[in-house]
Structure 1
């Protein structure tokens, strides 16, 4: 138990008043010394705010537990902490809700001789603060329905009309509904399942009785939190009024004004950067890869889709971004070998069983690059598994290689691919990450001439065009009758929702599995004295 003197040191404006003390109540802005403090005959400390502040709120501000007000007698005897009067419309007392320490609630009604009977029997069940409620209804004011008397007092301190039923959530007597006939009602449930069910119960019970009923879920509440908790965490009357007149939108709905307000900050300070592609010209056309965006990179077999995806993953990691690479075509070992090629690994020697020190050094260099730790590889084929992993890892970029290899269940190829395309778009929006998905083209490689691809060539799904924020083709020409594509080619930006379409020519180095912009390659070749069209290397 806390000593009286210690408790008084935590209060302001303390003065002796009879057998006890008066002080400024710490639970509200008090200029009149509204708090009375006394010590009962049994030694317990008694606190009462004449302005109506709840004892729990007073103790919370003081940093004192309820149990600290009672002597440590070890008997565990229940003590009455508060009583709440329930009256009829004329103000005549019908019954009380009594709060005990340890926490417990019971109900009692007055009987002859000033005694109490701890049973309501046929006593009418009425709303708490019924006279005030009926006056508010007559005046056309809103009435707030909460789950407990403490919350009623919180709202009354803001000058609002509030009420509740005795017994808490899930115990709304039919008679209570009549007290709200003709009312504009706002139900504020506690943030738990019981609170939600209670709100539904009250709403159903008031159908045809109240003029209108609104259920207001307060934002930012912890589990089981109530309006009093919301007020303690900075909620104000002004904020509550704004929520009532403009309630929170359902999940997934954003008001246009709020969206404009959000992006207007970019007019005053630089817009946060997304993820740049490894090729500046492509980034200029597309605006890069940004959260919630779904980009498709498509190409014919052997034109370098996977090489471009790996290069994008490494580039994103070098920018400090977390990457989840969903590889459904290559194993992690094969991807690691591709990365090793970037550092000088010769795959001819490696697969031929004759690696030398150059190859070993290439692996050492690749393994030692710290940004490679930001790239994680998985080979789960179903959309649900990919989403589950992404929710845990929270990547900035998800790369899928490739769309047509994802699990489609029992659906047709077109239906399954469409569903997976829609799902990847939702994943990008839900996790606020960018998604780059590779896709095949439908035109056969066996044709004498490979045509420059267009959006209509995307394989299996017309939904790709609708879902995509970007569509980029990796295209390399080939000589007639020769299935091997040339080293020169282009990134063709066929769709860029927030950018523009266009083409960026490149030279592909198969030995290092890297793309270089053609202008840069030609400039470098001119300096070194060899032709970019010779396939690279010194003459």
Structure 2
């Protein structure tokens, strides 16, 4: 770089036969070709206010003609300072400081880097080379800090036009300008130099825009800000990390700034429970275990299932929430006209801006599957983790807990980690997980249990019920602590020692329905709870095992329960000694309902006529043989199709070989002794053992 003389001195230095005048001007020979050198001193040069004044007295030559004859441009005749930067391949970059204008002369198509000789020497010596955006920064680094630096001609956006081969094997430190063009230029340089240089690091000024501003403020480069190189690994030393305690919205259950899952079947109050959490956070209230919410704040809701006016607002009011601090996301704005599109979890940047603007402590996503981005496979671990990793980073940066609500899947098993809908990666990404399930000990209450906790020991399970606030709105009422954990709540009764309770309920139900006949299910449940302490859940399992017929009648609908159709036969006539298979049983007893018959849901129903339920009749065996004990025989085979027209196997109390057919009325069983101990056997397709000579009193089939 070289500082130029004043425009007046520059012009005078290039003229011939110069003679100063008393008024400070100069008389000289005009250099244009029009004079052929014979005009004498016909050119006057004066200092003007902002530029050199040139007057040709012979041919009135123009400024442009005189400047070109002197090897100058018209702009060189003005007093504004101009700096020239000389490239080794003949390119010259001019900069007018007052207006910050640049122009080039010389070899404008050259590809050499600025300050190339010093760069080559530094690479040979193994010294780092600094890469900046302009020639001014290169010269300032050289003169002020004694550092070798370079740049490409043209600045930002022109990197591809230069030859970067001289930096092969070099240690390059890029100081990018702190603006959008500078950041794009630095990213382009990283891409170009990555395969050439041994190491490339990225920095920016701590003060100001560029390297020159930083030098002016700090005097050297020791305080440059390091920036992650695009595509490089971001690394932090653990020595630079300050240890912190885990912060909790609800100690043991809702860690601050983390993902938390809340799983459960529909109808158990997950959404109401989440709004109860929100209410406590907006008020900085007391949690049901007696701890206080130490980090109150706003709450953001993404709800895909409930209406804001008729459901969410009333529930928040019932939970005593500060609704001024609750914000419901309705959509993402597409334009100024208010057009919205549904939000998804791909809108992480928009969500983070909202979280920071409202200082939210809790973000509720109800339900998770409704907000997964399009094309995301909820059962594919890589898809889920890619989505939730950005959400987890948002939660951590903003200190906002994200509560993800999910329905349970239909998978059998009692491991709660695998029962939430979607990939195992969902609960894997969460730092805490909660489960809502019916209370096995009380069908009026639910249990909130912990599925996992990476940050603390598992807390106690809590019980609650949904109660009416007096205005027809459900609210959560906490009722105590439960001994049931998440695994036990999801376990099959037979796997947790509850099989005996179900068997007891099964016998009780059979006795009740034998005595009372078809009964409203509401009455049966109340009697079971009152007389035998049987919970509704256990009773439902007994209903399934007994294959109780479910009948729905009337309006409003009334559900009734009845035992499957079976009958006790009168004393049968003699039977034939012929022995053989009993034939098909349960599945061949068909239901034929007429146009006005009742709606039933039985696993085993009776044949009916056109206008109502059918009745059972008994059909005797063929005549027995010469004497001896009666024996089983082949059942009627029906028509040529081989269809057995609704025959039942032997019933308890009946002698061998008796078959029941839906024809004439019979008397139903009236004593507990006639109730089968293993009702499932009524629906087995097994054949009768030919050697089985037990009479009906011992027959449990």
Q: TM-score, normalised by structure 1?
A: 0.58
Over residues 266-286 of structure 1, what are the superposed CA-to-partner deviations in whole Å (9 max), with x where a residue is unaligned?
4xxxx484423xxxxxx2x34
With CA pairs under 8 Å and 6+ residues apart, which has the higher RCO, 1 or 2? 1
Question: How many residues are aligned here?
Answer: 378
Task: Establish whether residue 465 from structure 1 lines up as the match of residue 431 from structure 2.
Answer: no
- Conserved? CA contact 1:299–1:474, under 8 Å: yes
Distance 2:305 2:232 in 1: 34
Distance 1:460 1:175 in 2: 52
Q: For residue 518 of structure 1, give the secondary structure of its aligned residue in structure 2.
A: strand
Structure 2 residue corresponding to 1:187, chosen from 156, 162, 174: 174
Structure 2 residue corresponding to 1:144, chosen from 118, 130, 149: 130
Q: Give, in angstroms, the shift of residue 87 of structure 1.
A: 6.3
In structure 1, the partner of 2:476 is: 514
Structure 1 residue corresponding to 2:301, chosen from 325, 328, 333: 325
- Conserved? CA contact 1:308–1:515, under 8 Å: no
- Conserved? CA contact 2:272–2:476, under 8 Å: yes
Gap change, CA 1:330 and 1:159, over 3 Å in 2:
same
Alignment of 1:34-113 (within 5 A): 79-86=79-86, 88=88, 95=92, 97-107=94-104
In structure 1, the partner of 2:365 is: 400
Distance 1:463 1:404 in 2: 13
| Higher relative helix content | 1
Question: RMSD across aligned C-alpha pairs, in angstroms?
Answer: 4.4
Structure 1 residue corresponding to 2:237, chosen from 257, 260, 266: 257
- Conserved? CA contact 1:78–1:102, under 8 Å: no
- Conserved? CA contact 2:345–2:373, under 8 Å: no
Over residues 192-245 of structure 1, what are the superposed CA-to-partner deviations in whole Å (9 max), with x where a residue is unaligned?
56545655666677788x6535252427788xx4323444566952234x84xx
Distance 2:298 2:223 in 1: 38
Structure 1 residue corresponding to 2:325, chosen from 364, 374, 384: 374
Distance 2:103 2:308 in 1: 65
In structure 2, the partner of 1:216 is: 202
**Structure 1: tracts of 5 or more residues without a match:** 1-39, 45-74, 108-118, 277-282, 343-365, 521-539
Gap change, CA 1:375 and 1:498, over 3 Å in 2:
same
- Conserved? CA contact 2:431–2:453, under 8 Å: yes
Q: For residue 464 of structure 1, give the secondary structure of its aligned residue in structure 2.
A: helix
- Conserved? CA contact 1:97–1:106, under 8 Å: yes
Distance 2:230 2:189 in 1: 21
Gap change, CA 1:179 and 1:98, over 3 Å in 2:
farther
Over residues 106-135 of structure 1, what are the superposed CA-to-partner deviations in whole Å (9 max), with x where a residue is unaligned?
34xxxxxxxxxxx41589765433443344
Gap change, CA 1:462 and 1:211, over 3 Å in 2:
closer
Distance 1:504 1:250 in 2: 47
Gap change, CA 1:263 and 1:340, over 3 Å in 2:
same
Gap change, CA 1:418 and 1:206, over 3 Å in 2:
closer
**Structure 2: tracts of 5 or more residues without a match:** 1-45, 51-74, 285-295, 332-341, 470-474, 483-701
Q: For residue 137 of structure 1, give the secondary structure of its aligned residue in structure 2.
A: helix
Task: Establish whether residue 474 from structure 1 lines up as the match of residue 432 from structure 2.
Answer: no
Alignment of 1:302-321 (within 5 A): 302-319=267-284, 320-321=296-297
In structure 1, the partner of 2:402 is: 435
Over residues 310-354 of structure 1, what are the superposed CA-to-partner deviations in whole Å (9 max), with x where a residue is unaligned?
111111212331211111221112112223334xxxxxxxxxxxx
Alignment of 1:276-287 (within 5 A): 276=250, 283=251, 285-286=252-253
Q: Give, in angstroms, the shift of residue 97 of structure 1.
A: 3.1
